[in-house]
A and B are shown apart, each in its own frame.
Chain A
């Protein structure tokens, strides 16, 4: 018995010396049960358990297969004979379809967000590599490297100066439009007021 057990575990690990053990397992019900338990334990240890340990479906599947061949169309389940439940069960199946549809929609939204992310600037400014565009040096803090503590301040100061220029540009655009239009409006008003 212990020898058979050793052979069984060796066989499971793929280290069996010969194939006699297969025949032994086939014939011995107790060994077959052990064979199954070992597998459940192993897959449980590997966290890949897909079968609950106490559920043995092999026997029921075999029995079902034996009774099967003559049936061409599935029988109506017993549930459908009960009036209300009979309608609810197909409805429940339908909701399954909606769940699939909803999960597809969710996946789409996720995908969309991921697709958009690279374009989202995390900061107000995105630095673009300047080298490909011509002989400009990329953004660099070479001059201040010797004083790494000042890096942050230098960066902030830089940002402040950049912001000042951009804000000024935006303000100038507004002023320009207002000025141009007020001049135009004056010119347009004069001929209108004459007649």
Chain B
């Protein structure tokens, strides 16, 4: 190295290779890690990533929020933490970028903003950042959807349905029938101190989740979906989080008058079937039933849907004559597809559940005597 520095040109080159500022930053972060574990939440930001530095002005403002929240009382139970998550996603002015990744698929990046305007109206935006994109804007309780190749339309809804399950964000208590929330402890996610919570189905019949919430604000930082063997199925990872006092300038540019008017969806009619499902995982209940034709093949199916808030399961019953002709188990994305043929009827179960659970549901079908 001494030799190198005699010659200005080469020493410059060497410096180029010998590590950038980023490496030093990473080193500093690693050094700071052990210190973090010992400190209580009193010390807010030991670590700055480069991103944090850029947002430092915003961070200062967000301190006001968190200190106000901390005055109430420090959250201790998983219920308190989930309550904070709901409060944060409904009341804070935030901008979050996160990525969604699934095994064997490309990572999908999203931008998520929320704001409360002067009139106390809640505004929300979710934008798919890759490709032609997909933009959802919520003003109060109307969600407008802008997609390529489809004229923009609006629906009445209190929240945007994104990759993060809305039941988890807004009604976590409704999930307690089927799932148990277990506090795991402190961790570090996206450069911030976080609280880890496991979400486990009570009868071990569904996929499990791991959830990381920001200690300061309660915002979601990471969500893992795991199969029963603990393998990762889907991951949502926040890459940046900015909380501000004022709503983001984006929301001022939204011309609320020009958004499409909400469509009215008439609830579908319920039709009775001659069969019932006698086994359901704990916390699941029937949400709809009808008889209709499949859009792609025109086959007539009897249909029931069950839900526990996090996952939806469809059960189809068809005459065996126009069915697949054999039993089958498949995986499509996160969905399990299971078909059983029994005599004259074919039963198909589709949903984000382990194959074993799908089989239990399919084999539990029984005819109800009174309807026919």
Contacts and interface: CB of A to CB of B under 8 A. Distances in A.
A63 interface: no
Among all A-B residue pairs, the 4 with the closest Cβ atoms? A181-B157, A164-B296, A169-B350, A182-B156
Contacts of B288: 172, 176
B157 A178 contact: yes
A166 B295 CA distance: 11
Chain A CB within 10 Å — which of B103, B268, B329 has the most? B329
B327 A168 contact: no
A158 B327 contact: no
B92 interface: no
Interface string A156-178: 00101111111111111111111
Nearest to A89: B3
Interface in B110-150: 141-142
The interface size bin for chain B is 35 or more
Contacts, number: 165
A189 to B, nearest CB: 6
Chain A contact residues: helix, strand, loop or mixed: helix
Contact of A128 (B103, B104, B329): B329
A84 B7 contact: yes
A133 B156 contact: no
B161 interface: yes
A59 B325 CA distance: 81
Contacts of A164: 294-297, 299
B179 interface: no
A175 to B, nearest CB: 8
29 contacts: A80-B3, A87-B4, A87-B10, A91-B13, A125-B337, A127-B329, A128-B330, A128-B355, A136-B340, A139-B326, A143-B326, A161-B323, A164-B295, A164-B296, A165-B294, A165-B348, A167-B294, A169-B335, A170-B335, A175-B268, A176-B287, A176-B305, A177-B161, A179-B267, A182-B262, A182-B265, A185-B142, A185-B157, A188-B141
A128 B156 contact: no
